Amino acid sequence: MCTGYSCIILALILVVADASDFAPCGGKPADVFFALDSSGSLSKNDFQKELRFTEDVASMFDLDENKVRVGVISFSKTVTPHFDLGAYTDRMDMFRKISQITWEGFGTNTGEALNYLHTKGLALKNTRPGIPHIAIVLTDGMSQNVPMTLEQAKILHDQGITVFVIGIGSQIDKEELESIASGPPSKYVFMIDNFDALNQIKDELAIKACEEKPATPSPNIQNTEAAVEEELVSFGRCTPRHALDIVFAVDTAAIGSSNAKFVLQFIANISDRVNMAAGDTTIMTIGNGCSGSTLDEEPATDPNMVKQGLSTYQTPQFHQLMRNMRLKAADGRFESDHIGVLFVTDRLTSFEYRKAKLETMRAKFQRVAIFALGVGNRVDAQDYMSLTTNGGQYISVPSFEDLGEIGTAFLYNMCLFGTNK
């Protein structure tokens, strides 16, 4: 029994020890699902070691609805769900639930377990966007339906779910495990001799899981379109399938301050709805003119000076705005897709159109995609369509007040950009 300062010191030690348990994750968010082999090829005692291993690894995560959420299933002849992501934020309650999981002792339906992970456990509607989605699969033998297992594993990978696999004992199929796991196998496949060796890999697995970054879904355009649509419907936002550097070009001098407010609100809404949490998307806004600028360097003192100043004034030219946008976009990160977005409101003169076409050619060479958002009925859609390049599009909207109506369509294009390359 402790008293006085000894109790305080003991309490501090326990708090520090408790915090150090999940230090490897550093509070980083992730959605993690364990799939535990409960087949007849392992003993009840070995299954208990699986459960303790699951508790040990989960204890290193910072369990919180805003940080790491954990779910658990076991699989034998069929799949048995035990609890879903985020069901427990208290570790002791979660450990108590894990300790109550019972061994089944029948077949090894790994394929059904993988199917459960991508259709329910780690399905898009149940996970948070922009963070790692991780499956940890433990098994001691070959699956009973290998073709199904490989098919379900591919779907997991296509959905951007990271899969760690732990193969235990001598009855495992190395090639099958490597097909189930993410790549490379040296990072995502653990092969150990027996269940006692689980204790030797728990720290390494936890650290690798905590270091994992959000995976990029496969460029299977049909699956990806459905995933983006579901994310937009479920969350009102989406995660770009490629790293993006987006530059919005706004000619405030041409559109006026009142209309500029609608444009800036549109850009702000896009930044709220496109998932930037992983650092894979950047947004920049450039202008072409200042509302506080004057036509003349000095005040005019007679009508002739006023007329002379007006006759020599040149409004900011469209191709200059386009050039600045192109250069800023091209200066983005090497590994990202570069996108320039123009807001256009009027027809171009033949001179401006020729200059703008040169900018399009330069953008094409520099691999900068150009999108044009045409506002109002004075825009020549054909001209601006011809200025888009590298996967960019022309999108029209009746007025600045209606910009919000095209927000979801524009966002959909951004989140899918590059998937059909």
Instruction: Please tell me the distance from the alpha carbon of residue 301 to that of residue 291, in angstroms, as a whole number.
Output: 23
Query: What pTM does this model have?
Result: 0.52
Q: What is the pLDDT of residue 419?
A: 73
Domain boundaries, the chain: 23-211, 228-416
Residue 125, φ and ψ in degrees, nearest 5: -70, -20
Q: pLDDT tens across 118-151, in order?
A: 888 998 888 888 899 999 999 998 898 888 898 8
Rg over alpha carbons for the chain, rounded to the nearest Å, is 29
Mean pLDDT computed over 353-376: 92
pLDDT tens by residue, 215-245: 765 555 566 788 788 778 877 888 887 889 9
User: For residues 76 and 106, is the Cβ–Cβ distance under 8 A?
Assistant: yes
DSSP string, 171-184: S--HHHHHHHS-S-
228-416 has the same fold as 23-211: yes
For residue 24, the model assigns a pLDDT of 53
pLDDT of residue 314: 46
Please state the rounded mean pLDDT for residues 22-50: 86
Domain 228-416 has CATH 3.40.50.410: yes
Give the three-class secondary structure for 242: coil
pLDDT tens, position by position, 292-325? 444 445 555 556 665 565 454 444 578 888 999 9
Q: Report the pLDDT averaged over residues 33-48.
A: 95
Query: Any alpha helices (H) in 216-275, and if so which ranges?
Result: 221-235, 252-255, 257-273
CA distances for 261 relative to 237, 317, 414, angstroms? 22, 21, 22
Rounded to the nearest 10 degrees, the angle between the axes of helix 91-99 and helix 44-58 is: 170
- Average pLDDT, stretch 107-126? 90
What does the pLDDT read at residue 93? 94
Specify the CATH class of 23-211 in words: alpha beta
Most confident region among 11-15, 65-69, 192-196 by mean pLDDT: 192-196
Q: For residues 168 and 135, give the distance between their C-alpha atoms in angstroms, rounded to a whole number.
A: 17
